[in-house]
Structure 1
Amino acid sequence: MPNVELIATATFGLESVVAEEVKNLGYTDVQVENGKVTFKADLSAIPRANLWLRTSDRVRVKIGEFTATTFDELFEQTKALPWADWIPEDGAFPVEGKSVKSTLFSVSDCQAIVKKAVVESLKKQYKREWFEENGPQFKIEVALLKDVATLTIDTSGPGLHKRGYRELIGTAPLKETMAAALILLSRWKPDRVLIDPFCGSGTIPIEAALIGQNIAPGMNREFVSESWPCIPREYWREARAETHDLAQYDRKLEIIGTDIDEQVLRVARRNAMEAGVEEQIHFQRMDVADMRSKRKYGYIICNPPYGERLGERREVEKLYHEMGQVFSALDTWSYYVITSDEEFERHFGRRASKKRKLYNGNIKVDYYQFYGPKPPRPKPNGSNPAEL
């Protein structure tokens, strides 16, 4: 099979982060669009992208794209696509769909038409009238946007945010993919201390530890395309071997997660243990008002309460003001805060160096970035005046 076209889906606002990850994997034919990053590569990119992408939601293979304003056009052009190149005789191929600003607005009808067209295509190829669909899964998506139909097959299975370590979930969890994005956007370096004073179930500290030790986020989970006959098993073996070869388990990190809830900290410690990074993170019960550090040039990355519920607003505003006072004492640090409060800077008492619009689930948020000074360069003899 020649090169394939893959789509790494992305949460709104994170497309450029996903694109940078794709390029770092060595793929150069990359296009960035709203909600997705498209790139061309050989079949070995399917296991590598699934194993390594930290901020993408899932990886899809594009089967075809065309304009369709009638059900006949949708049926005939779907039928003409090379479905048998991917789906074996026993393959299961459920169809899901979505339609935005398109003539064909009935999603259920579009799904039924695509299902029928794929069946007809496979009938012709396999010379049979019935498919039991009791083998590997090939979930098809028909996505219509302004009358352009894009047909893809999901290669991931459960979303890529499901790393496999978070069996226990605290209150209002931040998705693993979003947590990783916050860290990558901060340009945190593994030789610098990182503190999350609202760590909850530990997602930000754990994702930081995985990044700091270059541990592939998908290393400890399985993917639906691992059972596909069209992808040689050796590609998966080689990709998984690469994750072990590139992991830097011996790199020491200084990551601290604090929270006022001891129960949720127990969850965080369990999650860190499941992720294999418990030795790299120190979890501690602490109120943000008590946060101090003698270290210079560190990072704070956090997802504090938003005050979305009625009656919490004044309490959260007070918290943000307190954060501003505590963080300002760390005047050589950089800090990064995600919140839905559009008045955060006023309560915090300082304007952000940069602000980025994102979505945390269905909540519109801003990522407030406050840049601290760069640490001095080490002297030629290797000593750093900041550490003396």
Structure 2
Amino acid sequence: MKKIIFVVAAVIFSLNSANAQIYTENQNASVTEQVLKELNRERSLLSQNLEFRIKEIDSKITNLDESIKNSNSASEKVEKLLERVKYLEERQEEIDKNTVSVYKYNYSSAVLNLASMEREIKPLNLFNTSREFYTTLDAVGNPMNYEGYQEWFGKFKKYIAEEKEDDARLEALNHMLQVTGDLAKGTPFTGMFAGSLFDGISNFIGSLNRRDKELKEESMKMLKLTTSIAQFTHDKDLIETEWEAITKSLNELKELQNKAMEDNLVEILDIKKKDFTEKFTNETNAKKRTQYILDISKIAENKIVEERKTNPENWKQEYHDQMLAVQNLKIRFGMLTFRILENLEKYEKLIHKYESDPFLKDEMKNLRLKLDLVRNSFESTFNPQEYIKASNEMYIVE
């Protein structure tokens, strides 16, 4: 009995000191993680109390069973059987309390994790739309950024202008240069344009005589450079295609998250989205965010208790469905961050492929520095494996 009193006292103390405990947690932990840790600590203490209570009831039932077995009085047996039924009902009540406690924690976990996604998606979206080394990637694929190319290309264009009337392929290349725009503005060296450009440069080299030895050597060098850039651009574009798919998935995830926010915070918990945005999403003060998220968790817990009272037969279903929906969202978010990390690894392979190219090696060094900065920034913010693991373990099993 003393143990039970001690546990109850510990629970009360824990509830009263929740904020103070949360604020002294590891500053590196997120607000949601801190609050959930505190809620789980409270739930664990209540669970211990439940275990003690059930053991106490079981002991009484065992004693009654023994007494009924040894009793010769019919009236005494009836009396003890009625008492036994009372204890069984008390036992079931305690089990029901545990079910409610588990649902209170799990639904709070769902709501808080859903809320945290609001702040997690924003930096991911920002990262996806403003990859810092993207400008450097484009610069590598623009031949006009390489020493001597722009001046040489002027000579090549002059050749095209002079010979286009007598060569259909040069006429086509001249047309494509006019349609696709100035190479200095980053016209990509891919597809039919690249093929026509190679043919045109080859013709230009073939037209040069011995007196143009220096220009011929320079043109051979520029042809090799153009070839390297064209292949690099092709390989880069394959990676960029995956970014488009990632962006699409991110937008879909955001729509699902918005719907889940509407279903849970607005419809079920009656929290105004404007208030949530102001007090959590855009709030920079960690203590204020913590207090607000604590308030939301209590609203969620109270909603579970209220629902059980008003709908005792089927109170679990809606909340169970919402919890599964949020968990699936979290897992999808984790998988999306994993895809981003994988795509960054593809850039690493791209750099490795061209770092020995005599024309691109210096650019690859610069590109690697930019990639390392972006990847380190991403990995310090997102840990896909840990995120997915936490998503799979975000609920307590009864």
Instruction: Output the TM-score relative to the length of structure 2.
Output: 0.28
**Higher share in helix:** 2
**Higher relative CO (CA 8 A, sep ≥ 6), structure 1 or 2?**
2
Larger of the two Rg values belongs to structure: 2
* Length-normalised TM-score, structure 1: 0.28
